[in-house]
């Protein structure tokens, strides 16, 4: 791969559903390696849909998606899984798999034998279980875990795919404050010079603190990209969310956002 080739590039991406709804509208951007990138926008703006286009679980109407300068649109799901790992917002396990078995599923793009994993696969999975603090619960059934534990298992599963790009959709949506910070610390530690993480998240203060770059979406399009402290402003929040907010910096120079509640009409009694 060339030095100046972006890890991920979207070129004029469009997705138009039958009936004419334009879900993704002429989206173009580039992301380099070694970054934690926040994908921000209100519900229904196209964040999840765009991620599904990138991992090819959703088709596109026009445009192109490139990883390391190569289009993925004609690649097989197994080829894509070696480049892109996906952690969905909701994951329902249909089988009674243990934590160990769930994480081992992340090695499926590389397994040559139908039934047996290699010693290398076992080593990678074992290391991931320890790295994400789930080694001691490796024999527990995935479906009975807490939300925080399940999130770490799914991230570990994606990690052992050894992807170039990891897509994570709303990783902290069901977590309390401590686990929100835990997950973001894990993601920050996972970013490597040869891997980037694109994370969709509603907590703007969390994104501002941890992300290297933010991509702001509205109505299926991109309206701003850049460093969080430069692009997340009171004016942008008003434009994107229709909410008045105070945006400032604390004593550690961390950006914070405080939404203001206001009513246009008197509530009914």
pLDDT number for residue 173: 75
**What per-residue confidence (pLDDT) applies to 64?**
97
* Backbone phi and psi for residue 53, each to the nearest 5 degrees, phi listed first: -65, -40
List Cβ neighbours of 231 (8 Å cut-off, separation of 6 or more).
214, 216, 224, 225
Per-residue confidence (pLDDT) for residue 177, from 0 to 100 = 83
Residue 66 confidence (pLDDT): 97
Tally Cβ neighbours within 10 Å of residue 243: 15
pLDDT of residue 266: 54
The pLDDT value recorded for residue 27 is: 97
pLDDT at 165: 96
pLDDT of residue 33: 92
pLDDT lower than 70: segments of the chain: 1-3, 113-116, 261-269
DSSP-based three-state secondary structure for 238 = helix
pLDDT value of position 72? 95
Which residue from 247, 264, 263 is spatially nearest to 255, judged by alpha carbons? 247
Quick one: CA torsion of 232, 233, 237, 243, rounded to 10 degrees?
A: 140
Q: Give the side-chain half-sphere CA count within 13 A for 198.
A: 26
**Residue 25's pLDDT is what?**
95
Global pTM value: 0.88
Residues forming beta bridges with residue 247, ordered by sequence position: 257
- Residue-level pLDDT at 171: 83
Residues 142, 226: Cα–Cα separation, whole Å: 37
Give the pLDDT confidence score for residue 184 in this predicted structure: 87
Beta pairing partners, 12: none
Q: Evaluate whether 7 touches 164 at the Cβ level (below 8 Å).
A: yes
Supply the pLDDT for residue 261. 63
Confidence (pLDDT) at 198: 97
């Amino acid at each position: 791969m060339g030095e100046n080739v972006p890890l991920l590039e979207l070129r004029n991406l469009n997705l138009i559903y039958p009936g004419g709804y334009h879900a993704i509208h002429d989206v173009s951007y580039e992301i380099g390696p070694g970054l934690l990138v926040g994908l921000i926008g209100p519900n229904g703006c196209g964040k999840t849909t765009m991620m599904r286009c990138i991992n090819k679980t959703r088709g596109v109407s026009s445009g192109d998606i490139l990883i390391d300068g190569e289009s993925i649109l004609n690649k097989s799901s197994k080829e894509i899984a070696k480049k892109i790992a996906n952690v969905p917002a909701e994951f329902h396990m249909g089988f009674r798999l243990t934590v160990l078995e769930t994480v081992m599923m992340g090695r499926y793009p590389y397994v040559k034998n139908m039934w047996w994993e290699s010693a290398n696969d076992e080593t990678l999975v074992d290391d991931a279980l320890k790295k994400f603090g789930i080694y001691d619960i490796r024999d527990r059934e995935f479906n009975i875990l807490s939300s925080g534990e399940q999130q770490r298992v799914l991230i570990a599963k994606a990690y052992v795919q050894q992807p170039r790009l990891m897509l994570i959709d709303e990783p902290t949506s069901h977590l309390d404050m401590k686990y929100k910070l835990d997950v973001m610390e894990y993601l920050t530690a996972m970013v490597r010079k040869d891997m980037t993480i694109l994370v969709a998240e509603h907590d703007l203060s969390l994104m501002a603190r941890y992300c290297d770059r933010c991509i702001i979406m509205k109505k299926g399009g991109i309206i701003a990209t850049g460093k969080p402290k430069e692009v997340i402003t009171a004016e942008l929040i008003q434009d994107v969310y229709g909410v008045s907010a105070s945006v400032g910096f604390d004593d550690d120079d961390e950006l914070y956002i405080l939404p203001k509640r206001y009513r246009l009409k008197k509530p009914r009694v």
